[in-house]
A and B are shown apart, each in its own frame.
Chain A
Amino acid sequence: EPEVTQTPSHQVTQMGQEVILRCVPISNHLYFYWYRQILGQKVEFLVSFYNNEISEKSEIFDDQFSVERPDGSNFTLKIRSTKLEDSAMYFCASMYGTHEQFFGPGTRLTVL
């Protein structure tokens, strides 16, 4: 069964460093999302992406964040200058039609 994959599973970085989180959505899906979950809290929406552009972004998704779909398969989230409060689990999700989003296993980001 097709699935969303994410790499790396765990990323440790120093405050102020840039990180790129990678996702490979399910191949025929059209809509792509990033969510994050700070430990012990609910899952929060960051950004949605369709037709090679951002559809919606949350207040969390400030100028330090960017997304790209550089080729036909990858979908990346870049954080330019990480802060301690960026430590969280980051989930990528993709969707074909208008029903359900399929989530990847997540990348745990630790900012020291």
Chain B
Amino acid sequence: AQTVTQSQPEMSVQEAETVTLSCTYDTSESDYYLFWYKQPPSRQMILVIRQEAYKQQNATENRFSVNFQKAAKSFSLKISDSQLGDAAMYFCAYRRQGGSEKLVFGKGTKLTVNP
């Protein structure tokens, strides 16, 4: 079974600084998707960024970027120029390729942004 591990239960960063959240996963599949979801105190799940495993280029969305290392099964999220609104739980998630495949989530990292 696929597993997702987030080894940092909590992280903190100063406003305007950069922070990296770690995620590793275990799978025997070669084609899959990886995601980072943000969950603010409202508990809404918001997609931050997506990476297709077949793409070598790391995904980028404005201040958010990933470092995808397929061989190492590592998928870290870098947040640049951190803002107070970035404070939230961040969940790494994996999904096999296929129509109805479920998301498998890590336990999350709570990010605090200090002013």
Contact = CB atoms under 8 A, between A and B. Distances in A.
Interface stretch (B22-30, B38-46, B64-72, B75-83): B38-46
B97 A44 contact: no
A103 B44 contact: yes
Q: Is chain A's binding surface mostly helix, strand, loop or mixed?
A: strand
Interface residues of B, number: 25
Contacts, number: 62
A100 B50 contact: yes
Size category of the binding interface on chain A? 20 to 34
A101 B103 contact: yes
A55 interface: yes
A91 B43 CA distance: 10
Interface in A12-56: 30-31, 33, 35, 37, 41-45, 48-50, 55-56
Interface of A: 30-31, 33, 35, 37, 41-45, 48-50, 55-56, 58, 89, 91, 93, 98-103, 105-106, 108
